[in-house]
A and B are shown apart, each in its own frame.
Chain A
Amino acid sequence: MSTIDNVSPARGRARLSGSCASGAALLFLLAAFALLGPVLIPADPAAQDFSASLAPIGGDYALGADHYGRSLLARLAHGARLSFGLAFLTMLAAAVPGVLLGLAAAWRGGWTERLLELLATVVLALPGLMLVLLLLAFSPGNYGPLFLGLSLTLWVEFYRVTRAATKTVLAQPHIEAARMLGFGSGYILRNCVLPVIAPTIATLAAFAMATAIIAVSTLSAISVGLQPPTPELGSMIVELLPYYAEAPVHVLLPAMLIFLLVLGLQLVAEGDRA
């Protein structure tokens, strides 16, 4: 019954787009803070002022200062730019090859697919963080290996999902119909496959970014990621942890930023899934 079909999904979409919109708004604010913050805030995130050690929020320093008297606002803005930027690049570096290989496997089948499946299984068998640690051992404290190691573990998800979704689409009669009508592979890819898999990939991208942020912060937190004094959200938490009793809110600020970003990504992903 057309009437029923029209009524219920419309209501569902309205509710979900609400979560999508609030997620997008949150991401927009965070992106503005990460991009504009370092430009607009004059304070140097590495400048120390021991007289202001652990300065409270709302005094000379808008968001207080850490144990070395460095402006937390400046450090948060620079840290956000670094963490978010790194996560975004990692996601791109995982998504682009993952999606392309997934399409290739689904399209060609046969040996191409079998070899790619084997490769994906091998990568999955390696523990993700282990791979990152291994690469970090070559040049500690660098962005390069961190970024490479994370992308190497994250691309498999994109590959697997793209391959499975594309195979389902390609098996449908309308693809056969399009081929019989003379449409080429490029047209079928653009008009029949990509529109179907794009929402799934977008959801996956949001999850991958969240994973990357948490991984970068975790690695910094166990002091193997980026080295001080680089303002990175994870290492900021670790540095401030010993002063938890005197300045509890200071420790929570970088954690809060990570939490808000992951929340924003999840909300957007949820909206996409509808």
Chain B
Amino acid sequence: MNMRAGIQELSISALAVESAAGRIVSDISFTISRGRPLTLLGESGSGKSLVAQAIMGNLPAELLATGKVLLDGTDLLAGSPAERRARWGRSISLLPQEPWLALDPTMRIASQVSEVHRFLKDRDARRSRQLAGDNLAEVGLERAGELYPFQMSGGMAQRAAIAITHAADVDLMIADEPTKGLDAALRDSVVARLRQEVDRGRLLLTITHDVAVARALGGTVGVMLDGRLVECGPAERLLAAPEHDYSRALIAADPQGWEGRAPTTSGEIVLAGRGLAKAYGERLLFADLDVEIRAGAIVAIVGPSGCGKTTVGNILLGLARPDSGTVERRKDLSPLRYQKLYQDPPAAFAPHQPIRKGLVDLVRLHGRTWIEVERLLARLRLQGNLLDRLPNQISGGELQRFAILRALLLDPVFLFADEATSRLDPLSQKEVIDFLLEIVRETGLAVLLVTHDRHLAERISSRIVDLGGAAPLGYGE
């Protein structure tokens, strides 16, 4: 890979971000040089995105960045907003989170790339189209130029975003959670692509809560907690032997490092699907699928996104109908004892209703007592003051534990966990999984776990159903 001429180093010293209420991020210092990308790890709310925004120069107006951000000697913080904006797309670019939302949905992808050449670099229309074709070929999308963003998979959209940064030919790339919402195979292909950018001589700053991404990118890793950089060092050392307690906990929370903890005992069948088949339009998701879930067991369904994992769970719960096949559940149990945990915890709670109101209504509806709620609150280590907040004011991990609490109030025999931890940071994920395992062991709850994380499935489930067969368009290229 030929190295580009260009900027050599981004060095940040004593960067702080302040709001009217006080410092949110303080004392951040690190250096990114060619061939040594930097990855910031940390949970949501730790301030990692603010660091990226401070470097980009697009912090919200209420926030003020101080310190030094030197891009080969030029202080990025010193310039006026107009000067900062002039660098966007020319020397610095941001790979957005969930790029399928950031691309223009009404424009074909080739035009979106070529408009960078046309309007940012002032080239003529023909030349721009030609160069855009080259940029798309560089990321393996030479045949996708005529597609609209909604026709592309998550991985393709992420590569299209990378092609746009190629067109801009920037020196510094900032990738904000580039693998959010992607399954393991797509994640690996995006990370490999980012790694190539580093080899080409671009400076790369990645923000993620996925330890596996940090491991694959190499270079330097920084761990952030409450607006501070608690540890920063070479990836090989930091990921193998973290020094700070928080980094140690964060890295240990990666399912890859867990020991096997699958429940071993199991009771009678709680729920079973026989000969299930489902197709969406032309595409067959699965056929002749048999699933049996026994009390006290955890069954995992794995497979790439779009393969119909969630549909299996919904069919078993009676929320969707199979094209053929039957679902058997125990006749003597109320349907209320079959419950579900959702992928996106905030979406599973009424957005304008304080948590307490939902729980009080639930307790009243089913004739339970508030004492049971309090017992479960203590059990799930949830603070009482969270009860009076709205769902979007508490973290995903806490909210998912409230969802578990809500389900446990109904004394469930079966719980369908639909990617219940995939949007949580590793520590919250571990906490939620730990609670689930405890409950399974104590109450004989049967769990159907849908996940794209094979490591997680292997560590905690008694049986794995692999739906890897039907892969969606553009998957794993």
A interface, CB within 8 angstroms of B: 1-4, 7-8, 172-174, 176-178, 180-183, 187, 191-192, 195-196
Contact of B365 with A183 in the complex, beta carbons under 8 Å? yes
Q: Which of B216-224, B340-348, B454-462 contacts A (4 or more CB under 8 A)?
A: B340-348
State whether A174 touches B349 (Cβ < 8 A): yes
Q: What distance in Å separates the Cβ of A137 from its nearest Cβ neighbour in chain B? A: 47
Provide a sorted-by-A list of 30 A–B residue pairs whose CB atoms are within 8 angstroms. A1-B47, A1-B49, A1-B50, A4-B63, A7-B19, A7-B20, A7-B60, A7-B62, A7-B63, A173-B342, A173-B347, A174-B351, A177-B340, A177-B342, A177-B348, A177-B349, A180-B317, A181-B339, A181-B362, A181-B365, A181-B410, A183-B365, A187-B365, A191-B350, A191-B353, A191-B361, A192-B353, A195-B352, A195-B353, A196-B351
Whether the Cβ atoms of B344 and A173 lie closer than 8 Å is yes
From residue B408, how far is it (CB to closest CB) to chain A in Å?
11
B23-65 contact mask (Cβ, 8 Å, vs A): 1 or 0 = 0100000000000000000000101011000000000101100
Contacting residues, chain B, for A180 (C-beta < 8 A):
317, 336, 338-340
Q: How far is the CA of A187 from the CA of B62 in the complex (A)?
A: 40
A7 CB contacts on chain B under 8 angstroms = 19-20, 60, 62-63
A177 to B347, CA, bound (A): 9
Q: What residues on B are CB-neighbors of A196 within 8 Å?
A: 351-352
Closest to B334 in A: A182
Query: Given contacts A1-B45, A7-B19, A191-B353, is CB(A183)–CB(B361) below 8 Å?
Result: yes
Chain B residue at smallest Cβ distance from A172: B347
A176: which B residues are within 8 A, CB to CB? 319, 340
Which residue of B is nearest A183, CB measured?
B365
Q: Which residues of A contact B49 (CB under 8 A)?
A: 1
User: 1/0 contact trace for B313-357 toward A, CB 8 Å?
Assistant: 000010100000000000000001011101010011111110001
Q: Using Cβ atoms and an 8 Å threshold, which residues of chain B touch A173?
A: 342, 344, 347-348
* B350 A178 Cβ-Cβ under 8 A: yes
- Whether, in the assembled complex, B366 has its beta carbon less than 8 Å from a beta carbon of chain A, the answer is yes
Given known pairs A7-B19, A174-B348, the reply for A182 and B366 (CB within 8 Å) is: yes
| Interfacial chain A residues near B63, Cβ < 8 Å | 3-4, 7
A1 to B25, CA, bound (A): 11
Measured CB to CB, the closest approach of chain B to A22, in angstroms, equals: 26
Most B-side CB within 10 Å, residue of A7, A181, A183, A196: A181
A3 touches B351 (CB 8 A): no
B180 within 8 A of A: no
Chain B, residue nearest A195 (CB):
B352
Determine which of B319, B344, B361 lies in contact with A187 in the assembled complex, contact meaning CB atoms within 8 Å: B361
- Which chain B residue has the least Cβ–Cβ distance from A10? B62
* Residues B406 and A181 in contact, CB atoms below 8 Å apart: yes
Is the pair A174, B347 in contact by a Cβ cutoff of 8 Å? yes
Closest to A196 in B: B352
Residues of A within 8 A of B319 (CB): 176
Closest chain-B Cβ to A85's Cβ sits at a distance in Å of 33
Task: Give A8 to B60 CA distance when docked, in angstroms.
Answer: 8
- Please, which residues of chain B bring their CB within 8 A of the CB of A178? 350
A54 to B19, CA, bound (A): 63
- Pairwise interchain contact A182-B365, C-beta atoms closer than 8 A: yes
Smallest CB separation, A135 vs chain B (Å): 41
Identify the 3 closest CB pairs spanning chains A and B, nearest first: A7-B62, A173-B347, A177-B348
User: Closest Cβ of chain B: how far from A225's Cβ, in Å?
Assistant: 42
How far does the alpha carbon of A3 sit from the alpha carbon of B361 in the complex, in Å? 31
B contact residues around A2 at 8 Å (CB):
45, 393
Which residues of A sit under 8 angstroms from B342, Cβ to Cβ?
A: 173, 177
Which B residues are in CB contact (< 8 Å) with A172? 347
A105 and B407 CA atoms in complex are apart in Å by 31
A186 → B minimal CB distance (Å)? 11
A192 in complex: contacting residue of B340, B350, B393, CB < 8 Å: B350
**Most chain B CB atoms below 10 A, which of A3, A8, A182, A195:** A3
Complex: A181 Cα to B342 Cα, angstroms: 13
How long is the Cα–Cα vector from A183 to B350 in the complex, in angstroms?
13
State the CA gap A33–B19 with chains docked (Å). Answer: 47
Q: How far is the CA of A10 from the CA of B425 in the complex (A)?
A: 28
**Cβ-closest chain B residue relative to A4:** B60
Instruction: Kindly report which residue of chain B lies nearest to residue A181, judged by CB atoms.
Output: B362
- Nearest-neighbour CB distance to chain A for B62, whole angstroms, equals 4
Distance, CA A222 to CA B72, complexed state (A):
75
List, in ascending order, chain B residues with CB within 8 A of A181's CB. 336, 339, 362, 365, 406-407, 410
A181 to B362 alpha-carbon distance, docked (Å): 8
CA distance A192 to B350 in the complex (A): 6
> What is the chain B residue whose CB lies nearest that of A188?
B350
In the assembled complex, how far is the CB of residue A202 from the closest CB belonging to chain B, in whole angstroms? 15
Query: A176 to B407, alpha carbons, bound, how many Å?
Result: 13
Which residue of chain A has its CB nearest to the CB of B24? A3
Chain A residues near B317: list those with CB within 8 A: 180
For A8, the chain B residues whose CB sits under 8 A away are 60, 62
* Interchain CA distance A181-B408 in the complex, whole Å: 10
Instruction: Give chain B residues whose Cβ lies under 8 Å from the Cβ of A187.
Output: 361, 365
Inter-chain CA distance A183–B20, complex, in Å, is 43
Please report the C-alpha to C-alpha distance between residue A177 and residue B63 in the assembled complex, in whole angstroms: 38
Residues of B near A3 (CB, < 8 A) are: 19, 21, 24, 63
- Knowing A3-B24, A8-B62, A174-B349, the reply to whether A182 touches B410 (Cβ < 8 A) is yes
